[in-house]
Each structure stands twice: as C-alpha cells, then as structure tokens.
Structure 1
Amino acid sequence: MSLHASADEAAGLTRRHEKYERLVSVTLSLPRLKVAVAHPCDGASLDAVMEAFEMGLIEPVLVGPRDKTLAAAKDLGRDISALTIIDTPHSHASAQQAVDLVRTGKAEAVMKGSLHTDELMAAVVRREGGLRTARRISHCFVMDIPTHETPLIITDAAINIAPTLDEKVDIVQNAIDLGHALRLDEVRVAILSAIETVSSKVPSTIEAAALCKMADRGQITGGILDGPLALDNAIDLGAARIKNIKSPVAGQANVLVVPDLEAGNMLAKSLTFLADADAAGIVLGARVPVILTSRADSKITRLASCAIASLVASTQRAKLALPEV
C-alpha cells in the first residue's frame, strides 16, 4: 500500500474478507449441509472441502475415482478416512452420481470439484435425471469488495449468455431469493445498462424498464427494482444525486443485474483484479444450490460459497416445513 494512501483506503483494505467471515459465522449455527462433491481429485478442491468439513459447515460425500481422490488427499497430507467416497470411473460419471445423490435425498447441494463446469451443469440441467425446476437456472456472484460496505450480488456472469426478457425474470427472482437467504434487510435490485434513461437505441434499457414494471405488477416479488441504471448510479449515492435519480435503489443497490454474460463476467473480474474483491459463486434455480468454485479461488472464497449454499438450503428447508394454506 502506498504511503500516500488515504485513511479510507487503508480502512477498506483491513476489511477484506470481513463480509465472508460474517457469512461463515452465521452458517456455523445451522445444521451441516449434506454436499455431494463431484470429482474432488485435485488439491485445491479437496482442501476446501476438508476445511469446510472441519469447520462444521458441510457433511461431504466425495464422488470421484477413489484412487485419484486418495492420491490428492495424500499429496495434501489430509486424512479423509472419516468421509464417504463413492467410486466413479471418470468426471462425467462423477457429475451424474452427485446429481443422483440429490435426487435420492442423500444430499442437499452439489459442489464442483476438479471437473469442468460444463460437465457438472450438463448433469444438473439434464431433462431426464437432472435437477431442473420450472425456474430458469442462473448464476450469482456474491462479491466481497473491501472498499464497499455491503456484499454485492452480481447476476448472471456465468451461465446465461444472452438472456431473453422472460429468462431475466427468473434471473432477477433467483437473485432476490438469494438476497433473502443471505438475510439482507431489503433486497434492492439495479437493472444495469450503459445509461439511466430508456432508449430504443439501447435494448437493455427497454428490458430494464419492462422488468421494473413486471415487479410493479407482481410478476417479480420480494425485492425493490429500479432500472435502467448505469453502474455508478446503482452503487454510488453521490453519482445518483448528480443525475437527480431518486429511488430507494439508486446509489445503494445490493443486487446488480447485468445485460448479458459478457458484461457480468467483465464486471466481476474487474472487481476481482482491480478492486481486490473476492467472488463466491452459486447456481440457483435448480432443486438444490450448486456450489461453483474456481481453481483460482482463495480458501475463504470457497468457504463462503459453502456458507451461501447452506443459507440457501436452510431457506428452502424452512419453506418446505411451512404448513399448506
């Protein structure tokens, strides 16, 4: 850090991981999440699983080639004798077996190991034998940005490449539900575009306006929507005031809905590499949460992803426990 860094910058840097640590702390009061870990055959994925297990976050079932899994544990110096290993011949089989554990009620979440995301998601979205629901599946990053007071949910930066308006309805609803699972007091959703006015020349502004009207009519519930909003107007009160934008969302959004995957991916990676942020990933809209981690993720980010999945699963259990009206 530069000797000329401001006090605010210094304070922000000391707050790195604080939001994730709070999430993990809250989750430790919940029952362990039963997680089917698909193909945990490298050190990074297996080490994160063991850390989450030892902390009391999850109860993992390791689904992958037994020899490779044991070899990864040996290389790490980890004792995995207390964990169940389901032997599979290859990564495709690992993904399907992990999904099958959910379908038979033996797991409440799926976690990506050392296989490709496409392999895991192919098993999740399979029409026969997958985990589809009526809801469109989408991805959310829960960003811990040191200089930003609250975590930011960014969607969708990993699954839906160019979502239609109808698909964005589900993407928004998934994010709102996640916000409630994370126990946000109020879920404030900014529908992002390059500008904050509606223009036929920028199609994403028209979709943003439509989504807000759909929320007014009860087609999207549980959150407060505003859009189109440019990024600065969404997260900075000063920028919103300069543009004279008055709404409960502008300047204080905690959910950012991007126009397409390219915009979301660039936004999340810009925050990660330029603002020292961490990005915990979760897939929603399936029967259970799917924990997506990257090989580049830090240990706290992987733990946060497990904590987020646990909070989502806890919310789902609570809904199932409610008496029918």
Structure 2
Amino acid sequence: MNHILKHVSYPAGTAGAIATPRYASVAAQLTAADALNTLRAAASSSATIYVIYVIDSGARLIGTLSLRELVMAPPSAQVATLMRPEPVAVHAEAPAQDAVDLISRHDLLAIPVTDDDRRMLGIVTVDDAMDLDRLHEGKRLAQFGGTALLGNADLSLRSSSFASMFKQRVFWLAILTVFGILTSTFVAHQEEILTEVLILAAFIAPIVDMGGNTGSQSATLVIRAMALGELKLRWRDVWFVIKREIPLALALGVCIAMLEAILAYFSKDVNSDVLLVVGLSMLCCTMLGGIIGGLLPFAARRIGTDPATLSSPMITSIMDLVGVFIYFGFAYAFLGDLLV
C-alpha cells in the first residue's frame, strides 16, 4: 500500500477535492504472493481493495487489476504481467462530475485521481460518485423547475430561509409574467378576427401548449446528453442536434397536426379554412418548439449558464408567445377576407 498525500488543496467541485488517499496499490515488480501480503497488511486502512492500482517507483499510475485476478494468479506471477495498462483516470483539477461520468460510463468501482505527471493522488469510489450524482441531480431538478437564479445555489425546503426562497422563486415567476403579459396583449388585439371567427379562440391553448411541450422534450434530451458527456459546446454537436431534430420535429408536427384537425372536425364541426389554420399552426409550433428546445441548452452553455436553468416553464412561455404569432398569422392569411 502506498499512499500519496495531497500537499495542495484542490478547489471545491473538483475531483481532487473529493478524492480519498486511502487506496490499494502495489508495485509492478512484485509477485502475486508478495502483492497479496502487502494488501493484507494495509486492507483495514483502504477505502476499497477490490480494485488494485499498480504504480511505478515514482508513484505514477501504470495499470490496474482486480483482487479476484490477483488471488487467481499463480503465486510467482509478476504483477506487471497481470495488470491492465493505461487505466481510465481523472485529473485532480477536472470537475468532480467528470469522475462521476467516467465511473458510470466504464462501470467502475472507483476511479484513480492523478496529477499532471499521472502520479496517484487518490481515488473517487462509486459510493462517493453516487452521493455526488444525487446532489447534482437535485440541483438540476430545482433549476429545471424554475426555482434557482442564474448561478445561484439551489433551494432546500428545510434549510433555505424565507428571503432566499422568495428571491429565487419570484425571479422566474416575474420573467414568466412578462411573457404572459406580452402574449395576452397580443391576443387581446386580435378581437376583430376572434369576433368574426369565434371558434379560433378554442384552439389557442392546445396549439401554443404543444410548442412548449415539444420544446421541453427536446431540451430535456439535450440536457441529459450534456450531463452524460455525449454533447459538448461545439458546432459539430449543435449541427448534430439540428440534423436529428428537424426531421423528427417535422414528423411529430405532421402527426399531431393531422390528429388535431381530425379531432377538431368531429368534435366542433368546423369548416375547412379553420381546419387548415389549426393544422398548419400545430405543425409549425411543434416543429419550432422541438428545434428551439434543442438549441436553447447550447445557448445557455455559451453564456456560461447551467442549461437546466432554461426551465420547462421558461420554454413554454417562449413558445406561447411564438405560438400566438404563428396562429394568428395563419388566421389572417386564410380568414382575413372575413374582415372586409
């Protein structure tokens, strides 16, 4: 067992800050029998001995092997011949979430934490990763629900003060209120066409809601992919999302628009011009919702904000405003002659 104590303090939120120096290590030149004796002597002070790290004379990580492999090996076999070289590791100054992602991606019991020279500083165990992931998901859930300011800590129902909860929650509610007023003001100015074609009012809610719902779906998928490291802030990934989302949003839009038109025809007995307005509006809102929802997380990353802060209510409010413009635009285009 060879512990390398950290002589520097790593910033909170880094892999080095959550690493423990209590790990099992052996030298590459040892035999399997000697390595087992070394592990027995130090097992009580190790966080885990199921993963054994092989280091050289300079304490640099050169390989790993499992306790099972060591026990099953011939006693005279050299550790250097048993180990798996170039193991997955995380830099001490990397975000702690990188350690969590790597443990999940490679199904590891622990991940070694190294410095610039690949010297072992400690390990992050799967238990530590699970605790951090639960905390991280809790923060993202709070932000996605619109209960955290940009860059501020998430809220705790038990420990947050009244003032903190009020300040952080009122911020998002105020933003949503502004969008709501803009939307309602625009709709109020459409009194003339609504008076002539009253049935149009019945379709405002389902049309604008569909854009928000589709946008929330897309944003959730992109945020999840970002959290797993599948997407990063680069044009290649932005273009990938666009290429995937456009045909998918088009297919969803066509399907939902046809369903809306069919249900409208049988439930409200509206004429073909109104059905055309409703169908085209539903198609466009669904498509735009999917595309905007897929791109907004990239915009958040670009300005240095957690993508989860683009909450579902925020996307819905944006699409409410865009949706009424689309809906009444088609209404005037196909039904404007009724106003003459």
Query: Considering the TM-score relative to the shorter chain, is it more than 0.5?
Result: no
**Larger RCO: Structure 1 or Structure 2 (Cα < 8 Å, ≥ 6 residues apart)?**
1
TM category (shorter chain) comes to under 0.3
Which is higher, the Rg of structure 1 or of structure 2? Answer: 2
Task: Report the TM-score, using the length of structure 2 for normalisation.
Answer: 0.21
Between structures 1 and 2, the one with greater helix share: 2
